[in-house]
A = this chain, B = another copy of it.
Amino acid sequence: MAESKAAKPEKKIENLGEEIVTEIRTGTAPKFITLSRTRSNVLFDSKKGYLKLGENKEERNFVNVSQSKRFMQTIAIASKCHRFIRENLHTTIRGLFYQLKFSLGEDIDENVFSEQAESNPLIEDLEVSLGLKREEMNLNANRKGVLAGNMKIIDTFGNEKIEIDCTKQGRSGWAIPSDVDNDIEFVNVKAKYVLVVEKDALWQRLNEDLFWKKENCILITPQGQAARGTRRLIKKLSDKGLPVYVFTDSDAWGWYIYWTIKTGSINLAYIGADVATPDAKFLGVTMSDLDKYEFLNKLTINASEIDIKRAQEMLNYEWIGKYKEWKVELERMIKSKKKLEQDALQGPRLTFVDDYIRDKIKNKEYLP
């Protein structure tokens, strides 16, 4: 059989199984190798601009008493995912968890085989070890995020090729799915740039103004922190050559959303190359906006202790603190104990936010 794209994840899992069988037959202890995902093995790749795993390997060994149960569980997960791929059906890590509970039987208690505490890292072990994303093992992650703009989606779904025109989704927008890689294509991307807006409320505001049409951009909201699917989609649009501008609150949470899109996150360092968009720029709102837009000074709100603590931490991240523009921003919030929400731009009039974004892009007033 020719190795089709679809067969690949299936084959990778089969190879793992075959290796283990061979080890058993030759009297070798079954094992597999994964990369360590501990904090000390998460590195910032300053050349590429994202967080990734280092080289530290970890071995999961069946005959090591402290590892044998987890080893067994991991193989059970691999086996289940192999079946999902063959059935061409998807589920979540919760659905997987119940399949494991069902077939491993004997009243395995929630506390003994809890997905939060146990299944999750084992799935990640497999992702890293096999070089597969969970989406390729037919495990959907949480989805969140909405999109409008001049592009089309070809979603191969239920044996049909469904075409979705992202200029024809009205007030709703197109809901970004968990998996934006398999059986789905993004075509006719005629927009000039991507604008990522933290809050759905503001996305709706801009969508109502047909901002994406007037400015010919792709308007995305991750609806808060970006889910895997949304991060991956932003990266894919960036790979098509579109500039990506991120527009969030000027507070710890907003900055976190931006940096997660740009450099990836510690938790997802193991797929950093796929979900980080190092070319992304930060459009605002910024503490410096307070100088340019006088009225914003009466619309600031008090920064929380968490905001200030996080801002101090971010100053110490090499990939943030190295930018003098970010140093200025973070230090200004720490000193003034004030923060600013993107919603504040609706103060003078509802459409002010449109002009704000247009000006920022036109004048290249964004942070790295």
Kindly provide the distance from the CB of A219 to the nearest chain B CB, expressed in whole angstroms. Answer: 13
Q: Does A118 contact B (CB under 8 A)?
A: no
Of B90, B155, B301, B350, the contact of A87 (CB 8 Å cutoff): B350
A343 nearest CB neighbor, chain B only: B94
Contact B351–A98 (Cβ < 8 Å): no
Contact A102–B175 (Cβ < 8 Å): no
A115–B165 alpha-carbon span in the complex (Å): 37
Q: Does A29 contact B (CB under 8 A)?
A: no
A153–B20 alpha-carbon span in the complex (Å): 53
Kindly provide the distance from the CB of A175 to the nearest chain B CB, expressed in whole angstroms. Answer: 4
Of B94, B168, B173, B184, the contact of A175 (CB 8 Å cutoff): B173
Per-residue CB contact flags for chain A residues 86-107 toward chain B (1 = under 8 Å, else 0) read 0101111011011101110111
Kindly provide the distance from the CB of A205 to the nearest chain B CB, expressed in whole angstroms. Answer: 6
Most buried by B among A108, A298, A348, A351: A298
Contact A171–B146 (Cβ < 8 Å): no
Q: Does A336 contact B (CB under 8 A)?
A: no
A347–B104 alpha-carbon span in the complex (Å): 11
A108 nearest CB neighbor, chain B only: B298
Kindly provide the distance from the CB of A359 to the nearest chain B CB, expressed in whole angstroms. Answer: 19
A interface residue count range (under 10 / 10 to 19 / 20 to 34 / 35 or more): 35 or more
Contact A90–B158 (Cβ < 8 Å): no
A and B contact pairs by CB, cutoff 8 A, 30 listed:
A84-B350, A89-B205, A89-B350, A90-B205, A91-B205, A94-B343, A95-B201, A95-B205, A95-B346, A95-B350, A98-B299, A98-B341, A99-B347, A99-B350, A105-B298, A110-B301, A110-B302, A140-B204, A142-B201, A146-B175, A155-B170, A157-B171, A158-B208, A158-B210, A158-B213, A172-B175, A172-B176, A173-B175, A175-B175, A178-B204
Contact A171–B184 (Cβ < 8 Å): yes
Of B143, B295, B298, B302, the contact of A200 (CB 8 Å cutoff): B143
Of B97, B173, B299, B346, the contact of A91 (CB 8 Å cutoff): B346
Q: Does A38 contact B (CB under 8 A)?
A: no
Tell me which residues from 161 to 213 in chain A have a Cβ below 8 Å from any Cβ of chain B. 162, 164, 168-179, 184, 200-201, 204-205, 208-210, 213
Contacts of A298 in B (CB 8 A): 101-102, 105-108
Contact A344–B98 (Cβ < 8 Å): yes
Contact B98–A346 (Cβ < 8 Å): yes
Contact B102–A299 (Cβ < 8 Å): yes
Kindly provide the distance from the CB of A274 to the nearest chain B CB, expressed in whole angstroms. Answer: 19
Once A94-B201, A171-B157, A175-B172 are accepted as A-B contacts, the answer to whether A89 and B295 lie under 8 Å apart by CB is: no
Contacts of A173 in B (CB 8 A): 175
